[in-house]
Structure 1
Amino acid sequence: MSGRVGLVAAGLVVLGEALWLVARLPGAALVSDLGAVAVASWATLACVGVARRHPTPLRRFWTLLAVTMALAALGRTVWTVERLGGMELPHTPLVGAIFTAGIVAGAAALLSSLAAPHTLVGQVRTLLDGVIVGLALIPICWLVVFRDVAAADLADPLRTFALLYPMFDLMQLTILVAVAGPSRRRWRPLTAIGASLAIRAVADTVYVSLYAHGSYTPGYPIDVCWPLSYLLIGAATRYPPPADCDGGDETAEPPLPPWWRVALPYLPVGGAIVAVVLARRPTGQTPHLIFLGMMTLLGVLALRQGLAANENLRLVARLRRLAYCDQLTGLPNRLTFNRRLRRALRDEVPVAVLLLDLDGFKQVNDRFGHASGDRLLASIAERMRNAVGGDGMIARLGGDEFAVLVDGDRPVPPERLAERLLAVLQPLPGEEDLGVHPSASIGIAEYGAHHTSHTDLLRDADIAMYAAKAAGKSAYRTCTPALREEAVSRAELIADLRRAVDEGQLHLEFQPIVDLATGTVRSAEALVRWRHPRLGVLQPAAFLPLAEETGLILPVDRWVIQEACRAAAAWRKHAPEVTVAVNIAAAHLRRPDLIDTVTTATAVAGLSPHALTLELTESALIEGSEAVLDRLRQLRELGVGIAIDDFGTGYSALSYLHRIPATELKVDRSFVARLDAEDPRAYATVDMVNRLAAAFDLAVVAEGVETGAQHAAVTAIGCLQGQGWRYGRPTALPELLAALTPVDVTH
């Protein structure tokens, strides 16, 4: 409230002074002086008060403005005292020094604002821009102000050097425009301060013109402009601090300056050159102030260009870092690595490449977020940099993939380097608690005669890296002709698999699932086979892992569901109670169109959803999200059965049995196989699964029953259904129809 009262009071002082001066009332000079002192003093107190209230980043700005206003009040006080002492216009060195100090403090305040450059180079550049504009306007002002002043009068230094005041005003105004122009944060006080500087520049210019022509007297109406400029400074303190006065995001890129901001310090220079020519005296001489100003202007321009050149060099260096360096880890990036590799190959020096892919890094991002993942990447990169040392160049190719280039004479074999890298990737004390600290799979390739380019070498390193992953991860492998041939065969197989569904190369076989007590076939599991035109019939293990890696499992799964439903609809005409079971990949389970695929397949085949069971691996179910569980619940509501396949080989998180709407458990064949040896642990495991299923009201199927002893064991344990060669091998649909008669399970 007190701040508002002070603002109103200062405004009334300015208004009263304006009316007094316009009316030419007695004592106008004293009223002018006292009004300026009073408003400047109030503005000083207002700036001091807001400096105490505003956050730390703004305190220097307001404190310097308070100093500026205090010097203005002091200078005007000294001016008044000396004028009352008998000097008509006290242009004394003391008054000039005080006003000049105020201008310096004002410029410093603008350079400390939030919108100003934060670097010393940027602040100096902005200051020089202001000085250039101010100096360039000296000859222009000379031509405008002194165009009809007698040469004898120009000998008075007070008349000519008074042009420095408008120059200083324009310098400050240029600085303000420069710092506020490209800013993303528009702060309203800068607008009020800009208006104050503009009014003061006009006032100083008019004053110098009147004084040069000998027509100025104290108390002239133009005098009201100075207290008005102080009033605007005080009014600027009424605005609240910006919401992001802490500086905002320090990593954010500054906005590009507009074209006029770049050209701002140079626009007046052309006018200054014209003014110098026009301001020459009839004798051909240039006034001393103009000559001195132009020489200073040339020096400042040279300094400004030097700063610009230095800044350009720094920008070029920064662009090079951005182009060739990974910003997260500080390592060379893919572009740098490839350039260095190609150069080494051109120089025909021995070259080896180690390609690293972090194992399990995705789990870090999923569990702890990308910020934690970035910190871990930076830490791992630093460890690997230290491990490689001077024996090679390590680069980050992208994501969690790194590469090491070893060229020239190699004192350390690439295999030894791989061992060092694997060693430094072991968890440090305390990191074991994360549970997802990544290791690495490393592939090594050495340049040989069979390589024609750097891409061939990287391809071989990639082949070896995938071999390391297949070997159990946290390992390294060197590319060999056998691995290369295997990779080529794998790529050809993937290409053939893309055509397999469309060209009808897939077919189904069905293995019966029987009632252990009666031998009656209760269900049949659909098993896909691939009649490869060149390799013959391929079992699922030969191509389904590839299908899952490449995403081809989705069309394969859809085809299997459709064909299995058609087959089941055919055999249920002969055995209405026999259902069909289909394996579903984890990738398909995560797709929202799974329900539509199932409902469409059953509807087209005319099969009841109750006759279909989807078999899903335990690990795929446990890794599922809430959306996956909700999808399974919708399938159960339709009547589709849910079987947990290979139970006991995955995570065995029993809490998931409360959430998964399963209908049966399938005991993995690895446990059943050990029943032949009368392994008490295997017996106990199968018995535990059977009891667990009974507790959750789930059916149990013993998989892989091949011998009479295994059949007797699972029957004694209490399993109700079995599947395996003991009851029937996978067979085509016609043979299955013949096998739908009860199977003799006693022999």
Structure 2
Amino acid sequence: MSRKDVERAAARSPGTDRVGRVGLVGAGVVVAIEALWLVLGLPAGALVSDLGALTVAGWAAVACLAAARRHPATLRRFWLLLAATMALSLAGRALWTSQRLLGESLPHTLPIGLIFAASLLTGTAALFCSVTAPRTTVGRARTLLDGVIVGLALIPIGWLLIFRNVSLADLDEPLRTAGLLYPMFDLMQLTILVAVVGPGRPVWRPMALLGVGLTVRAVADTVYVALVAAGTYQPGTPVDVLWPVSYLLIVVATGMPPPRDHGAVEEAGEAPLPPWWRVVLPYLPVGGAIVATMLARDASGHTPMPIFLAMMALLAMLALRQGLAANENLRLVVQLRKLAYVDQLTGLPNRLAFTRRLRGALRGTDRVAVLLLDLDGFKQVNDRFGHTTGDTLLSGLSRRMRRAVGDDGMIARIGGDEFAVLVTDGRPLAPERLAERLLAALQPSPGEELVGVHPSASIGIAEYGPQHISHTDLLRDADIAMYAAKAAGKSAYRRCTQGLRESAVSRAELIADLRRAVDEKQLHLEFQPIVDLATGAVRSAEALVRWRHPRLGVLSPARFLPLAEETGLILPIDRWVIHEACRAAATWQDHVPSATVAVNIAASHLRRPDLIATVTEATAGAGLAPRALTLELTESALIEGSDAVLDRLRQLRELGIRIAIDDFGTGYSSLSYLHRIPATELKIDRSFVARIPEDTRAYATVEMVTRLAGAFDLSVVAEGVETKRQHEAVVAIGCLQGQGYRYGRPTGLAELRTVLVKADPPEVSGVAESGLTLT
């Protein structure tokens, strides 16, 4: 039950709080009056102590009933049992008082003994209904045995300390002797409470008060037993006030609220690894009991019968306790084995179990194949609908795959959304056929297409051969084939070939080389001019990164930037490009102050909060005005932007940085994000510009985008202008700026500065119109 449910329950019964407050004040007053009466030695002390105990016990029973109505249903049984315990204590105390008034000095009668025994049972049962009590039968039995063992161990110790000099003839009244066992019962309950509280969890305050109350009662019963054994006990002495004090602590406990994390405690159950003191708790007093038994022997070497019986019972309880511990250890071993080799969500074997079976198969069979399956688009399911929906979907898909594999292989879940199937020569079904069955099983059923949460799968197949040294090589090849299936359009399977293997090795080597490229200064920039179509003057230059690979030569961005984005290396590359571009632009500001520099920014960098610091450090370090820098962002990066990303872009605009939307028209081209994004210009994608002279629809598209940009007060750059006809078309449409081979190829900084200071417009000496291709 949640905390709101608890508050509602309290609101439905406003009288319960009032009862608790009145009971607490009344019980406190009674205890204070009784304590003062007994300490001062006023007359009728025995009657006052009896009446005080009766009154406080009654109030405690009523307060427990009120707490049961106020607390959640899961705690109601705890308070009801505690109320029954206090009611039995009240009944026993009332019978005790009546018989003492009739002339019995210490009325240890059978009815009184039965009533107090019943209160012992209900009090112990209440402890087992607390929020941190063991949930299993074995756990409860073990805790109960711990209390019984500690209680039995107290008998030899108590005998040695209290009854050693008491003759057995003085203890010939069985009922009276049984009454002397109250301290043992108190210690037993206190041990159970300590074990039940729950190691590693915050102690619920009512349980702490109950522990203090049991301790007070144990002290009272111990002093009572010692005085009775010495024959000096007199009713109405100050020790009698300790029993009402223990009842008063229960009244105080009823006013405590339920634990805030009650639901979490309920689900957590028992702690899997109790602390060392919890394990040795029942055994600590056993050593003292053994020593006390040896010291209690008489001159002839005989052990008193009560001690002998207590030790026999103690040994029996210890044996039973050890048996339960051994059974619990076996159960724990089974549970740990299941946790070690079984995936808890799907019930399939996990990676450890799959690897173990695979290694065994490679030692014992001739034909071994592995199918590695990865769900396509599963991350979007978690992001869109949450992990609970993702787990439900994953469980359902795993059941489908298990049925599809059947007896023809072993399927396991080896990662979040990754599965593997092991096929050996004992199952002659071809791996490709099994892959087709798996893909068919993952097809959405009628109606599931509308939900939008049903991913497809990509499967890689690798068969063991001479090229494999170990199982890791086989899994690596299956992983290579799986990524090839993803690259082929997903929802497909591929078998690993020598070509795929060599391509993967080359790709891994290129990634390793790319990690060293920035530090070893293998990267350099080239600049492509962006011109004013009306005058031919260079208005800006786009910085394009190139990689001088020590072995492969100069690599274009298409060769390494996708790898950089995939591995996260795009971030240091972006930072380097921003700093270098700003330093380069600062060198031409003296000659052409109006010319700016444009830098492409990856989507992952846009989502980082340190982008603003990177840009401001780069411009300040180069001495470049912020208005001279343009950040180019793709549509996909912008459309996925969160509110934090949009705020970051607004901050950049406030600093003076220009924002350009690159490749406009190839992405989402949503009018809604044009209203939100603080852009300053649009760059029309080259695919539209290339078709302008022949395709009227492309012409209309560029014209529409140009007018749209004018409505949003955005400047337009036509990308990929290569021919005279394309140049004339974009000029006729009204584009103000252009970029492409018609106006200049990407070149080094020195060549760009030469172009910038030339008097003639760069397009008049443009590149030949034929034979040009963009790279």
State the TM bucket, normalised to the shorter chain.
0.7 to 0.9
Q: 1:696 aligns with which of 712, 717, 737?
A: 712
Instruction: Assess if the C-alpha contact under 8 Å between 1:57 and 1:245 holds in 2.
Output: no
Q: 1:65 to 1:585 in 2, by over 3 A?
A: closer
Q: 1:341 aligns with which of 335, 358, 372?
A: 358
2:3 maps to none
2:119 maps to 102
Q: Distance in 2 between matches of 1:13 and 1:738?
A: 103
Instruction: Assess if the C-alpha contact under 8 Å between 1:48 and 1:63 holds in 2.
Output: yes
2:215 maps to 198
Query: Match of 2:711, as an amino acid?
Result: A
Q: 1:485 aligns with which of 502, 525, 545?
A: 502
Q: 1:503 to 1:234 in 2, by over 3 A?
A: closer
Following superposition, the deviation at residue 483 of structure 1 comes to 0.7
Farther-moved stretch of structure 1 (685-694 vs 626-635): 626-635
1:475 maps to 492
Q: 1:112 aligns with which of 113, 121, 129?
A: 129
2:267 maps to 250
2:701 maps to 685
Q: 1:122 to 1:675 in 2, by over 3 A?
A: same
Q: Distance in 1 between matches of 2:208 and 2:744?
A: 89
Q: How does 1:514-533 map to 2 (within 5 A)?
A: 514-516=531-533, 521-533=538-550
1:649 maps to 666
Q: 2:281 aligns with which of 261, 264, 267?
A: 264
Q: How does 1:292-303 map to 2 (within 5 A)?
A: 292-303=309-320
Q: Distance in 1 between matches of 2:594 and 2:208?
A: 85
Q: 1:717 to 1:296 in 2, by over 3 A?
A: same
Following superposition, the deviation at residue 549 of structure 1 comes to 2.3
Following superposition, the deviation at residue 117 of structure 1 comes to 2.2
Q: 1:88 to 1:439 in 2, by over 3 A?
A: same
Q: Distance in 2 between matches of 1:296 and 1:124?
A: 16
Matched, 1:465 2:482: yes
2:184 maps to 167
Following superposition, the deviation at residue 654 of structure 1 comes to 1.6
1:406 maps to 423
Following superposition, the deviation at residue 132 of structure 1 comes to 0.8
Q: 1:443 aligns with which of 439, 445, 460?
A: 460
Q: 1:394 to 1:44 in 2, by over 3 A?
A: same
Instruction: Assess if the C-alpha contact under 8 Å between 2:132 and 2:270 holds in 1.
Output: no
Secondary structure of the residue that 1:41 maps to in structure 2? helix
Instruction: Assess if the C-alpha contact under 8 Å between 1:138 and 1:163 holds in 2.
Output: no
Deviations 1:259-278 (A, max 9, x none): 33322211221222223233
Deviations 1:4-40 (A, max 9, x none): 5545555565566667777887766666555544443
Following superposition, the deviation at residue 154 of structure 1 comes to 4.2
Following superposition, the deviation at residue 462 of structure 1 comes to 2.1
Q: Distance in 1 between matches of 2:196 and 2:325?
A: 17
Q: Distance in 1 between matches of 2:251 and 2:294?
A: 42
Q: Distance in 2 between matches of 1:72 and 1:252?
A: 31
Q: How does 1:508-547 map to 2 (within 5 A)?
A: 508-516=525-533, 521-547=538-564
1:50 maps to 67
Q: 1:385 to 1:249 in 2, by over 3 A?
A: farther
Q: How does 1:55-454 map to 2 (within 5 A)?
A: 55-82=72-99, 89-180=106-197, 182=199, 184-212=201-229, 223=240, 225-246=242-263, 248=265, 250-251=267-268, 254=271, 257-427=274-444, 435=452, 437-454=454-471
| TM-score (norm: length of structure 1) | 0.87
Q: Distance in 2 between matches of 1:596 and 1:339?
A: 50
2:57 maps to 40
Q: Distance in 2 between matches of 1:319 and 1:461?
A: 30
Following superposition, the deviation at residue 486 of structure 1 comes to 1.0
Q: Distance in 2 between matches of 1:569 and 1:7?
A: 81
Instruction: Assess if the C-alpha contact under 8 Å between 1:111 and 1:117 holds in 2.
Output: yes
Give the RMSD, CA atoms, in angstroms: 3.8
Instruction: Assess if the C-alpha contact under 8 Å between 1:468 and 1:477 holds in 2.
Output: yes
Instruction: Assess if the C-alpha contact under 8 Å between 2:113 and 2:179 holds in 1.
Output: no
Q: 1:452 to 1:97 in 2, by over 3 A?
A: same
Following superposition, the deviation at residue 130 of structure 1 comes to 1.1
Query: 5+ unaligned residues in a row in structure 2: which ranges?
Result: 1-17, 770-775
Identity of aligned residues (%): 74
Query: Match of 1:138, as an amino acid?
Result: I
Q: Distance in 2 between matches of 1:218 and 1:424?
A: 83
Would you say how many aligned residue pairs link Structure 1 and Structure 2?
746
Q: Distance in 1 between matches of 2:25 and 2:621?
A: 85
Q: Distance in 2 between matches of 1:657 and 1:66?
A: 69
Secondary structure of the residue that 1:314 maps to in structure 2? helix
Following superposition, the deviation at residue 53 of structure 1 comes to 2.9
Q: Distance in 1 between matches of 2:655 and 2:352?
A: 54
Following superposition, the deviation at residue 135 of structure 1 comes to 1.2
Q: 1:672 to 1:147 in 2, by over 3 A?
A: same
Query: Match of 2:632, as an amino acid?
Result: E
Following superposition, the deviation at residue 490 of structure 1 comes to 1.7
Q: 1:648 to 1:163 in 2, by over 3 A?
A: same
Q: Distance in 1 between matches of 2:49 and 2:355?
A: 75
Q: Distance in 2 between matches of 1:23 and 1:600?
A: 83
Q: Distance in 1 between matches of 2:376 and 2:66?
A: 59
Secondary structure of the residue that 1:152 maps to in structure 2? helix
Q: 1:675 to 1:129 in 2, by over 3 A?
A: same
Instruction: Assess if the C-alpha contact under 8 Å between 1:115 and 1:185 holds in 2.
Output: no
Q: 1:244 to 1:495 in 2, by over 3 A?
A: closer
Instruction: Assess if the C-alpha contact under 8 Å between 1:352 and 1:406 holds in 2.
Output: yes
2:15 maps to none
Q: 1:700 to 1:73 in 2, by over 3 A?
A: closer
2:633 maps to 616
Q: Distance in 2 between matches of 1:146 and 1:686?
A: 107
Instruction: Assess if the C-alpha contact under 8 Å between 1:444 and 1:476 holds in 2.
Output: yes
| TM-score (norm: length of structure 2) | 0.84
Deviations 1:629-662 (A, max 9, x none): 3444444455544332221111112212123233
Instruction: Assess if the C-alpha contact under 8 Å between 1:633 and 1:661 holds in 2.
Output: yes
Q: 1:493 to 1:275 in 2, by over 3 A?
A: closer
Deviations 1:473-503 (A, max 9, x none): 3332221100111112222223333444455
Secondary structure of the residue that 2:164 maps to in structure 1? coil
Q: Distance in 2 between matches of 1:475 and 1:181?
A: 52
Secondary structure of the residue that 1:394 maps to in structure 2? strand
Secondary structure of the residue that 1:643 maps to in structure 2? strand
Following superposition, the deviation at residue 593 of structure 1 comes to 4.9
Q: Distance in 2 between matches of 1:113 and 1:730?
A: 76
Deviations 1:333-375 (A, max 9, x none): 3333333322222334422223333333443444445555455
Matched, 1:629 2:646: yes
Q: 1:438 to 1:145 in 2, by over 3 A?
A: same
Secondary structure of the residue that 2:669 maps to in structure 1? coil
Matched, 1:585 2:629: no
Q: Distance in 1 between matches of 2:186 and 2:612?
A: 75
Secondary structure of the residue that 1:266 maps to in structure 2? helix
Secondary structure of the residue that 1:363 maps to in structure 2? helix
